[in-house]
């Protein structure tokens, strides 16, 4: 086996940890963490989705999602409303406060992308992104084929 390829998982994990640490510091001024901002960005794309749906879309467990959403509500970044069609469910919406910081969140993310891709030609970056997307699809396909019970049927509304 190629020794360079054997380090792939270690490199991806280390990059992920560095990214979390960088974004935790960069987003601290908003009282956000690297685990919180994806909820805001997802709601920007799909405002009015359910708590259950955002958990599935972000591929996080419901308990973690519930804690994060509770904290984002306390910070006045999102609000939840009872679903008109199902009084047991809630729909999630951005507040003006969260809308006002989205450009800064995006600037921080792009700043980090520029830091980690410094010195690499665009073609090489595109190849890495294509490879990682393919690897993710392969991992998800493998997981879905080997998991019993927890398959997601249908789309989130």
Residue 87: burial class (beta carbons within 10 Å; 0-12, 13-18, 19+): exposed
Q: 84 lies in which domain range?
A: 3-116
Which CATH number goes with the domain that contains 42?
1.10.10.10
- State the Cα–Cα distance between residues 73 and 31, nearest whole angstrom: 12
Looking at residue 146, what is its pLDDT? 72
User: Tens digit of pLDDT for each residue in 65-113?
Assistant: 999 999 999 999 999 999 888 888 889 999 999 999 999 999 999 999 9
- Domains identified in the chain, total number: 2
Element (H or E) spanning 29, and its range? none
b vs e for 18-49, b when ≥16 Cβ sit within 10 Å of the residue's Cβ? ebeebbeebbeebebebbbbbbbebbeeeeeb
pLDDT band for position 124 (cuts 50, 70, 90): very high
């Amino acid at each position: 086996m190629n020794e360079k390829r054997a380090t792939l998982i270690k490199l991806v994990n280390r990059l992920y940890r560095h990214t979390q640490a960088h974004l935790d510091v960069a987003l601290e001024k908003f009282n956000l963490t690297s685990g919180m901002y994806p909820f805001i960005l997802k709601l920007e794309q799909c405002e009015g989705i359910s708590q259950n749906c955002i958990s599935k879309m972000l591929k996080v467990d419901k308990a973690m999602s519930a804690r994060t959403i509770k904290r984002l509500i306390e910070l006045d970044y999102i609000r939840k409303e009872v679903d008109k069609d199902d009084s047991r469910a809630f729909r999630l919406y951005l507040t003006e406060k969260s809308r006002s910081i989205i450009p800064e969140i995006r600037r921080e993310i792009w700043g980090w992308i520029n830091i980690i891709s410094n010195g690499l030609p665009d073609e090489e970056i595109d190849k890495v992104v294509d490879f990682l997307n393919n690897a993710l699809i392969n991992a998800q396909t493998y997981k879905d084929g080997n998991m019993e019970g927890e398959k997601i049927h249908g789309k989130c509304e």
